[in-house]
Amino acid sequence: MKHITIIMPLIKECSVSACGFNAMDGCHAKAITVGNGTNPGCDTFFNVPDMSAHATSVGRTGGVGACKVSGCKFNTDYECMADEIMVSLISQKANCATYAPR
Ligand code: SF4
Ligand code: SF4
């Protein structure tokens, strides 16, 4: 496998325990995509009710690969420029809790 190295904002914490990438309040996807329009939802979320089927590579913490919420003050060219973000359930959806309107 060929590798690339990219600097991305860290997902410091994610409390959406039903997501298949979640273990111990951490996101273990390589990178997530956030948002659509004005909604800062985590597009990478997928529901896996069986905790034993969640990601097991917990040594790696995910980052924000892309964000389509241009109205967030941390967004430049559809990328997140925050140092780190938090993700949590907001209105029953996995959302970026670091989102802040311009
Ligand atoms: S940040 Fe998104 S992909 Fe990662 S564990 Fe949370 S809901 Fe899942
Ligand atoms: S902080 Fe703003 S720019 Fe960064 S992922 Fe969240 S909504 Fe997108």
pLDDT in tens, 72-95: 999 999 999 999 999 999 999 999
- Indicate the top mutation candidate among 8, 12, 14 to test ligand 1's pocket, ranked by most ligand atoms within 8 A of CB: 14
Partners of residue 26 on adjacent β-strands: 23
* Residue type at 59 in one-letter notation: G
The pLDDT tens digits for 30-86 are 999 999 888 999 999 999 999 999 999 889 899 999 999 999 999 999 999 999 999
CB of 72 within 6 A of ligand 2: the answer is yes
For residue 43, the tally of other CB atoms under 10 A from its CB is 15
What 3-state DSSP class applies to 51?
helix
State the burial class of residue 90 (Cβ atoms within 10 Å of its Cβ: 0-12, 13-18, 19+).
middle
Asked whether residue 7 carries a pLDDT value surpassing 90, the answer given is yes
